[in-house]
Amino acid sequence: MVFLLAVAMLAAILPVFWLPGMQYRRARRHGYRAPGAIAVVLASAGIALCTTVALLWNAEKADGLRFSTLLSITATTSWWMAGRLLLAVLPRQAGRVFGKRHVAFPFPLAGWIISAAGAGVGAIVVRSWFTERQASLSGARTVWLTFVLIAIGQYLVKRGRDLAHERPLEQGLVDDPRPPVLYLRAFNQESQPFAVGDASKYGKFVEGWQKVLSPGQRVEIPFEQYFHQSIEKRIGPFVALGSPEDYVPPHGALRHYATDDTWQRELAQLARTARCIVAEVGSSGNLRWEFEHLRSKRLQRKLFFFSAPEATVAQWRSSIARFLGPRLRGLVPPVDWKTFSSELGSLGYELSPDDPGPGSLLTFDSKGRQVLLTTEADLPDDFMEPLDDWLSGKKKTGRCIPVKCSKCGCSFHVRPEHTESASLLCRLCRSPHRSLRRAVVAVLALASGVFGFLAYNGSLDSFFAGYPLVGDHPRVAATVILGVLFVVAMYVNPLQVDSP
């Protein structure tokens, strides 16, 4: 019975991780832009809190596990129902605004208020340290809140200042007379991460709220944030047509918010004047008109496709990782190469049936045939250097020459100057950590088996007895620990692919 209650409690808590994102996306589909959609999520959470407190105020609290299970189920259910009812009652909005963005939210004022709150929390903690003989443990635990509030507040202040000096696309093209770089993408995938990794490595490419994160934490960077500095430095101004549902222009490309009647004409004009056009490897359904137009006007030689680096692709290789990671946050899995190549093939492009792998950059020749410029790229300059060399003199300087691995015999790509090397190893054979990962997973599996056997036959009851709450339910604690070990094992050893 105790085990079933623990499972029910965990099942009720899990939706909390995706409920806010789900409600936010539903509110956006209802026509509410970012501030209104966030208000809907907060309002539904507030209603759920009040409902849960009212329903459980007089509930029996003697059995902590039963009460916790009832609390989690009630809170999650009421939060979900509150969100649905709010959107059913609230009127639908147009949600589409053309022309320059007019931001009513006082970003700087909100930022200074949050920063002041953080400073106030810090002052209270410092005062408690000096007025008490011993440092307050609870006060020490709130120090992190001071830094988080101040960091968030200063981000809002900076965001407000940036919006106040936001340049329209026309002014950006005047300030930088070089031909622009046009960015094509589906509006509903603008926030999808292109690069994923440690903040110590990728933090300098981050813009927005993720700057609050410290080295050692994971960051997820959308395409335009990742590349816009490198593109503007090497090639030209980075521009795009904006989504009419934007409340504020996202970080990255300069945007022009065209109307439904003029966007095709204005995009065609930008494509003609652009030095190059960049897009991510993905489903072309939402961009069918754009790619068809480029092919019909023989502009495909300006088109460059980028595929996500290895670290981004790896998070989708484990079924458990796919569910517990990206899917809970509403992210879309990468489109497989076969689907991508067939969709573009129907539009007149000729792509190789062989997947070049993660971190690839490709373009097309005068007949619409694929030209691979590099593979296994990771940082922005790994992509931009081959692209710039191709634009400047049609030189291929990236990993684009197919060779055979001297160890496993599979095909992969190297730079032109490395083709004569005696020993050529593919990406997988160059990664000795694969065997280490397998050893770690084997140790985790063995430890989980031994721990589970000892825990469920009662041998560890005396060990758990030393911990409050946990000691009363040792088998529930063992189940949670085993679940955590299983998830860690799935992340440590993602599914490996056969080709690099």
Distance in angstroms (rounded) separating the CA atoms of residues 349 and 341: 8
Which of 405, 359, 352 minimizes the C-alpha distance to 385?
A: 359
The sheet carrying 361-364 orders its strands as 254-256, 238-241, 181-183, 276-280, 303-306, 361-364, 370-374
Predicted TM-score (pTM) above 0.85 = no
Q: What is the pLDDT of residue 331?
A: 65
Instruction: Return the amino acid letter for 301.
Output: R
**Any idea where the domains of the chain sit in the sequence?**
2-89, 107-164, 169-399, 433-492
Per-residue pLDDT of the chain in tens (500 residues, 90 and over written 9): 555 555 555 555 666 667 787 888 888 878 777 777 888 888 888 888 888 777 766 655 545 556 666 677 777 888 888 888 888 888 887 767 777 777 777 888 988 999 999 888 888 777 776 665 444 445 555 677 788 788 888 888 888 888 888 888 888 888 888 999 999 998 878 888 888 888 878 888 888 777 666 556 778 889 999 999 999 999 999 999 988 878 888 888 899 888 888 899 999 999 999 999 999 988 767 788 999 999 999 999 999 999 988 877 766 555 445 555 555 555 667 788 888 888 898 998 999 888 888 889 999 999 999 999 998 888 999 999 999 999 998 888 888 777 777 666 677 777 776 666 656 766 666 655 555 666 677 777 788 888 877 777 777 777 777 666 666 677 777 777 887 777 777 665 554 443 33
The predicted structure's pLDDT at residue 227: 93
**Rounded to an integer, what distance in angstroms lies between the CA atom of residue 342 and that of residue 351?**
8
Going from the C-alpha of 490 to that of each of 8, 311, 346, 370, 423, the distances in angstroms are 23, 15, 38, 36, 33
User: CA–CA separation, 1 vs 493, rounded Å?
Assistant: 34
Collapsing DSSP states into helix, strand and coil, what is residue 11? Answer: helix
